[in-house]
Structure 1
Amino acid sequence: MPPSPAACAPASRHLRLWWRRRGRAGAVAATFAAALVAAALLLSLSYFASLVPLSPNASPALVGLTLLRRAEEKGALCLDGSAPGYHLQRGSGGGSRSWLIHLEGGGWCRNLKSCASRQKSILGSSHYMERQVEFAGMLSDDEDQNPDFHNWNKVKIRYCDGASFSGNVKDELQNGTKFFFRGQRIWEAVMDELLLKGLRHAKQAFLTGCSAGGLATYIHCDGFRALLPKESRVKCLADGGFFLDVEDISKQRTLRAFYSDVVRLQDLKRKFLGCSSSMDPGQCFFPREVVKDIRTPVFVLNPAYDAWQVQHVLAPEASDPQHSWQDCRLDISKCSPDQLEILQGFREELHDAMREIKQKKDWGIFINSCFIHCQTLSSLTWHSPSSPRVNNKTMAEAVGDWFFDRREVKELDCEYPCNPTCHNLVFSKPFKG
């Protein structure tokens, strides 16, 4: 769920991020819609991180874009009606029958106006997608960076439907304009194509995703398992995808309201049959509800202080008319004691939402105390000498141990600012002009 630098260029004029190693702490709808555009920049973390190679020979591989065949015939189309795409890097040697599938993220669109904006970007049209992307972190083919999965077949599926690969609306015309809400069909059609390319013979397969793609991973995990041989080892991993249904600092449930619009727009309620009819439609879209019915083992990888959620769910700009949270939202080391107390409460909300998951012996958990978002596609955060660690394990080591059943993995970090290995994001103030 990261966009390319080209996709992030407009946002980067207003919001700049860089890595900073920390040892110690030192109108809602319109605002939130704009925040989701900023999410595309934040989700480009893996790109910026991958610009810093670990060694002269560790530059990320460039992998070409493949457009889905007969997309129009299958009705599997991006928001603008263009063919969806994916990037496939073939495995080798002992990994030739192992597959790692990654679902890209990049927020959601809640109404026709915001979806129309996405139609003119990589998040809604393959016409704007780069023809090559870098594979780094858990997609890397470098054994030092990616010891357990480096020689696997690896696929990055591009995200262009606006609803975490979930919509399936037959009608194309919406208020006189064509919109294709076909995320479910994109998922099915790309899977069919990959099965023909060897996925159906996989001895082991791993479905992963970041942010909105992490949410999609929860949604499609069991369906992915059903596509593959019963004797295959199949698991899933969601990175930065455990979004919380919490009140913001003004006591509004900003993300629930947003999700409710997404669910109604793309007619998703019927997809979540286990969701109570008495619940708000948006509640059905939260991982806390989705995971209740998952039978396939899942690894939950999340920062306790998810930078995207802090900025757009816990303390969105519309909830802070006095701008008292501005510095804290940009740099966690600048949070006041009272703000840190609220952030610690947010961390507790995450732990509470995962209470049942902690009891599942075959599920994995890695929750670090960092101010960041997605972490698996970055060469710095996935597995490097300076990677964040919990109980002296990098996330690559923890995920590998769990996937191959080397040990049970439930890595739960202490409260910020206890972990000196964190890479915490620091943002500049938005440009006013």
Structure 2
Amino acid sequence: MSLKNGSVPFGGMLDHNSTFNPDFYNWHVFKIFYCDGSSFMSDVENVDPKHNLTYRGARIYDAMMDELLRIGMGNAKNALLSGTSAGGLATILHCDKFQALFHNATRVKCISDSGFFIHGEHFMGADWREAFFFGVVSTHGLMNTLPTSCLSKFSPTLCLFPENVVPDIQTPLFLIESAFDLYQIQTNLFSPSDTSPRWYNCTRNLMFCNWTEIKIMKDFRYTFINTLKSTIADSSSRRGYFVHSCYLHGHMNYKRSSTCSSFVGNGLANKTIAQAVGDWYFDRSEFQEMDMLNDLPRYCTSTDDQPTLEKKCRDYIHR
């Protein structure tokens, strides 16, 4: 995220504008910049002599939580841990730990935005994805810092994959995902050495894709949905999810991708992503929806100019 005049811009579901963000506009919002490479899970005392690096992301997380509690977060009536991409994975890994910071009177929930990175054991690239996560676990010394409930059943490498962690999370968790997750399709199906120019061009512009490449993406969708369904099969209403079919990665901080998502072709059950999350967070209604109709990746855009789109969005939100 870029800095503007020395400050961090917040948009979408983090926006202070009540017109477009009626549920969360007046919340205190804190952003922890992702800077450790381990989703804030590493805690290695020794310094890497080769690169003069420390792997202590867990201490960054703990220091930030201590500071937020010092300035009053522990007195909040509502608290929400969220993150996008690697931050979404961090949210999953820290969700129960975050909940433990608060009294029972506080409504505490977590939202993982585009953080459900699949292992896809029987899908192409599984060995590459597992090898990559093994490297993360080894480099950052995560063998003993990952959730113990997962480590009792799987290797540390497999406990970086949300499909093996989410079933044991006790805190209410909402997943915002695309079944055609742009990042995972671009980056996680083939190792860098195996990525062809054709695949590179296709994943950066769907118009360049042939049917063989589209078939790979459709197979990814099938694997992603089945993995997620299996993960949440025994979940209660504490789990929420919004799984669409737009070729996208990241939602919460963008108006078009969250608060106005219906007007770029990305709504489910007659709700925008922001409305679905708000209803779930404030216990107005459950939300567990997947787009099972669209089995092709698609761009979710609008032909309207920004003012027209925002007017339609504003009228819809406040109808």
Class of the TM-score when normalised by the shorter of the 2 chains: 0.7 to 0.9
Q: Which residue pairs with 1:363 in the alignment?
A: 239
The Cα of 1:191 is off from its aligned counterpart by: 0.5
Structure 1 segments unaligned to the other structure (5+ residues): 6-61, 63-129, 425-433
Q: Are positions 1:402 and 2:273 aligned together?
A: no
Tell me how many residue pairs correspond in the alignment.
297
CA distance in 2, matches of 1:246, 1:4: 33
**Deviation string, structure 1 residues 45-102 (Cα, Å, up to 9, x no partner):** xxxxxxxxxxxxxxxxx6xxxxxxxxxxxxxxxxxxxxxxxxxxxxxxxxxxxxxxxx
CA distance in 2, matches of 1:249, 1:349: 7
Q: Secondary structure at the match of 2:263?
A: coil
Is the 1:163–1:266 Cα contact (8 Å) retained in structure 2?
yes
Q: Which residue pairs with 1:132 in the alignment?
A: 7
C-alpha spacing 1:200/1:249, structure 2 compared with 1 (3 Å): closer
Of 73, 76, 92, which aligns to 1:218?
92
C-alpha spacing 1:349/1:237, structure 2 compared with 1 (3 Å): same
Of 330, 336, 339, which aligns to 2:213?
339
The Cα of 1:390 is off from its aligned counterpart by: 1.6
CA distance in 1, matches of 2:238, 2:151: 27
Structure number with greater CO (CA < 8 Å, separation at least 6) is: 1
Q: Which residue pairs with 1:301 in the alignment?
A: 176
CA distance in 2, matches of 1:142, 1:236: 22
Q: Are positions 1:192 and 2:58 aligned together?
A: no
Q: Which amino acid is 1:186 matched to?
A: I
TM-score by structure 2 length? 0.85
The Cα of 1:328 is off from its aligned counterpart by: 2.2
Q: Secondary structure at the match of 2:179?
A: strand
C-alpha spacing 1:316/1:389, structure 2 compared with 1 (3 Å): farther
Q: Which residue pairs with 1:145 in the alignment?
A: 20
**Deviation string, structure 1 residues 362-412 (Cα, Å, up to 9, x no partner):** 110000101110111112211127242122211000000100111110121
**Deviation string, structure 1 residues 230-280 (Cα, Å, up to 9, x no partner):** 111110000000001136986552221111011011110112323457855
Q: Which residue pairs with 1:375 in the alignment?
A: 251
**Deviation string, structure 1 residues 197-219 (Cα, Å, up to 9, x no partner):** 11010101111000010000001
The Cα of 1:146 is off from its aligned counterpart by: 1.1
| 1:27-176 superposed matches below 5 A | 131-172=6-47, 174-176=48-50
CA distance in 1, matches of 2:78, 2:92: 18
Is the 1:207–1:235 Cα contact (8 Å) retained in structure 2?
yes
CA distance in 2, matches of 1:419, 1:328: 12
The Cα of 1:423 is off from its aligned counterpart by: 3.9
C-alpha spacing 1:143/1:347, structure 2 compared with 1 (3 Å): same
CA distance in 1, matches of 2:170, 2:123: 35
Is the 1:369–1:413 Cα contact (8 Å) retained in structure 2?
yes
Is the 1:367–1:411 Cα contact (8 Å) retained in structure 2?
yes
Identity %: 37
Q: Which amino acid is 1:4 matched to?
A: S
Q: Which residue pairs with 1:235 in the alignment?
A: 109
Is the 2:240–2:280 Cα contact (8 Å) retained in structure 1?
yes
Which has a greater percent of helix? 2
Q: Which amino acid is 1:198 matched to?
A: G
Q: Secondary structure at the match of 1:151?
A: coil
CA distance in 1, matches of 2:297, 2:118: 23
Q: Secondary structure at the match of 1:348?
A: helix
Is the 2:120–2:227 Cα contact (8 Å) retained in structure 1?
no
Is the 2:82–2:91 Cα contact (8 Å) retained in structure 1?
yes
The Cα of 1:336 is off from its aligned counterpart by: 2.5
Of 413, 423, 427, which aligns to 2:291?
413
The Cα of 1:175 is off from its aligned counterpart by: 2.5
**Deviation string, structure 1 residues 316-372 (Cα, Å, up to 9, x no partner):** 553244x34233211234432332222122112222222231542211000010111
C-alpha spacing 1:278/1:395, structure 2 compared with 1 (3 Å): closer
Is the 1:303–1:371 Cα contact (8 Å) retained in structure 2?
yes
Moved more, 141-150 or 279-288: 279-288
Q: Which amino acid is 1:222 matched to?
A: D
Q: Which amino acid is 2:74 matched to?
A: R
Which has a greater percent of strand? 1
TM-score by structure 1 length? 0.64
C-alpha spacing 1:371/1:202, structure 2 compared with 1 (3 Å): same
| 1:205-354 superposed matches below 5 A | 205-246=79-120, 251=125, 253-272=127-146, 273-276=148-151, 279-321=154-196, 323-354=197-228
C-alpha spacing 1:420/1:186, structure 2 compared with 1 (3 Å): closer
